[in-house]
Amino acid sequence: MGLNLKTVRWLLPYFRGTRRFWVLAALATVVTAATEPLVPALLKPLLDQGFAGEGIPLWMVPAALLGLFAVRGTAGFLADLALARITQDGLLALRRAMFGRILDARLALFGKESATSLSNTVVFEVQNGAQLLVNSVIGLLKDALGLLALVGYLVYLNWQLTLVVFLVVPGVGWIMRTLSKRLYRIARSTQTATNNLAYVVEENVLAARVVRLHGAQEGQAERFRGLSLVLRRLALKAAAASAAITPLTHMLAALALSMVIAIALWQSRAGITVGTFASFITAVLMLLAPIKRLSEAATPIARGLAAVQRGIDLIELTPAESGGGHAPPQCQGRVDLRGVRVRYREDQTAALDSLNLSIAPGQVVALVGPSGSGKTTLANLLPRFVVPEAGCVELDGVDVSQWDLATLRRQFALVSQDVVMFNDTLARNVSMSEVPDLVRVRHCLDAANLADLVDGLPQGLDTITGHNATELSGGQRQRLAIARALYKDAPILILDEATSALDAASERLVQEALKRLMAGRTTVIIAHRLSTIEHVDHILVLDQGRVVESGTHPQLLAMNGLYASLHAIQAGTARTPALAVAG
């Protein structure tokens, strides 16, 4: 049936922890299958003896039927409960492994996969896949055992007629194998098409204002329609392949059944009883149900394997970040880059090329330059969000690749123009921990000029911020990011356009909070507005991945180079308050 044994073996460790429930499900299934032939078996004495002179006691008929179905019902109930426990326990282990890989995967993963694709894989696809596979495995076991029990009973009744029944087996096997391969390929394509369609929806939700402002609704609707048509075409192909299995199987079964009846009528002249014939025909008809389910098992198995395969690829094919063993409690804050080159793709020019620089502990350094000059890439090198293809990045004289990753990243705090907040309490958003120190959180919020905000919230620090704290203003969210950096109390601070999108009043409050945050810390500032970094210790001017100028603000103006040109371009705009930096 196209069952990928390699995939099944890979999944076994996640579902092996529920071994006792597998045993319970298997035993209950065996009981259900073993009682399958008893229904036609009851017909033989009923027809041969029940209508005879003496007959059989009347109470035996309801007693036998009620007892039989009580046993079958109890076994089915226990099997369903065991299956639910097996599926949910295995799914829990599999989801934890997948989410763990997302947490420790190299950041290149998030450039290749959209948030929609990853969330669908972790939340929906593996759930559907695991349920389909577990239910199909038990269903296969139940139907296979029931089939064997019925065939055994048929052999017992009349082995010659049973041989005729076996004529359908090769045909059914060929149909199932051929169509299941096609179903698997279609299911894999359907998963990709579903993710593409969901991604379009996600983009249009996030860019709702942009789409309306530019009148792009018609184009986006046509894009959605095209992907929807692809998904519909795949669904119709799957429906056609799945629908073909049952009638083809039934045709073979009907052929065998007609031959059985004809031969049985011929054998009736040799003394076959009515009860034996009725029992045999009933057993043959009961074979149709498990044969039908076995033939249709290819569809859920193919869909389950395709869904689970994406989870397997996430865990097995996504490399995890790796680090060294250097783990001091806290660094001094000295940063050195020697001959660093970074290239994101082979066919692109280097984002950074032969870069050399040194930042002393406690020094405030600004990175400026045109867009695409490599400023953000340089800042991402320090916590190893980006790995250089040549050269080395050192923290306190030790290559960052030799640092324990968790320890390395504890040395950095980031305040960016793109503030990310979680749908959690204000206190947990600041502390980024499950058990925050509320006194320390409040102190950090006060230092970030957010005391009035906290006092005005109905639940104070326990207030849920909502999706990315969108109900707060840009300045409030920026100051929340500053409070988070204050709480972390890291020795090195990275400010990535921390005040670029704020009005004058909000910027003043943010600048005051940043001044407190930067005190005594090695600070790297990425800035477009040069008026905000005039008083920093040192300015590095980048262009096309290289440091083309460096010095203080007056020195760079005197050079009359790129920095002076950028400064002159911005000179006609309203000047913003300069970030006052001590020393």
> Which of 296, 317, 338 delimits the end of a domain?
317
The predicted pLDDT at position 93 comes to: 87
Domain membership flag for residue 381: no
Quick one: 133 exposed, middle or buried, by C-beta within 10 A (0-12, 13-18, 19+)? buried
**Angle 376-508-476 (CA atoms, 0-180°, nearest 5)?**
75
What is the model's pTM?
0.69
Tens-place pLDDT, residues 131-180 = 888 788 778 888 888 888 888 888 887 777 777 767 666 776 677 667 77
CA distance 24 to 528: 66
CA distance 244 to 240: 6
Render 132-174 in DSSP notation, one character per residue.
HHHHHHHHHHHHHHHHHHHHHHHHHH-HHHHHHHTTHHHHHHH
Domain membership flag for residue 249: yes
Domain membership flag for residue 576: no
Tens-place pLDDT, residues 247-267 = 777 777 777 777 777 776 676
The predicted pLDDT at position 394 comes to: 92
The predicted pLDDT at position 539 comes to: 92
Backbone phi, then psi, for 576, in 5-degree steps? Answer: -100, 160
- Sequence-distant contacts of 166-173: CB under 8 A, at least 24 apart: 167/255, 167/256, 167/259, 168/249, 168/252, 168/253, 168/255, 168/256, 168/291, 171/252, 172/249, 172/252, 172/291, 172/294, 172/295
> Which of 317, 334, 364 delimits the end of a domain?
317
Strand 492-496 and strand 522-526: the pairing is parallel
Do residues 410 and 331 lie in contact, with contact meaning Cβ atoms separated by under 8 Å? Answer: no
Do residues 481 and 489 lie in contact, with contact meaning Cβ atoms separated by under 8 Å? Answer: no
Low-confidence ranges of the chain (pLDDT < 50): 1-2, 573-583
Domain membership flag for residue 535: no
The predicted pLDDT at position 501 comes to: 57
Q: What is the CATH number of the domain that holds 309?
A: 1.20.1560.10
What's the domain count of the chain? 2
Same domain? For 9 and 146 the reply is yes
Domain membership flag for residue 553: no
Domain membership flag for residue 495: no
The predicted pLDDT at position 577 comes to: 44
Same domain? For 28 and 173 the reply is yes
Same domain? For 148 and 282 the reply is yes
Same domain? For 293 and 425 the reply is no
Do residues 542 and 367 lie in contact, with contact meaning Cβ atoms separated by under 8 Å? Answer: yes
Q: Which domain covers residue 238, as residue numbers?
A: 5-317
Q: What is the CATH number of the domain that holds 481?
A: 3.40.50.300
Same domain? For 251 and 127 the reply is yes
Q: What Rg do the C-alpha atoms of the chain give, in angstroms? A: 35
Strand 546-551 and strand 390-395: the pairing is unpaired
The predicted pLDDT at position 109 comes to: 83
Q: What is the largest CA-CA distance in the chain?
A: 124
Same domain? For 133 and 282 the reply is yes
Among 280, 277, 283, 252, residue whose Cα is nearest residue 265: 277
Domain membership flag for residue 114: yes
Domain membership flag for residue 548: no
The predicted pLDDT at position 270 comes to: 57
Same domain? For 94 and 214 the reply is yes
The predicted pLDDT at position 264 comes to: 67
> Which of 253, 282, 317 delimits the end of a domain?
317
Tokens 């087996």: give the residue: 169
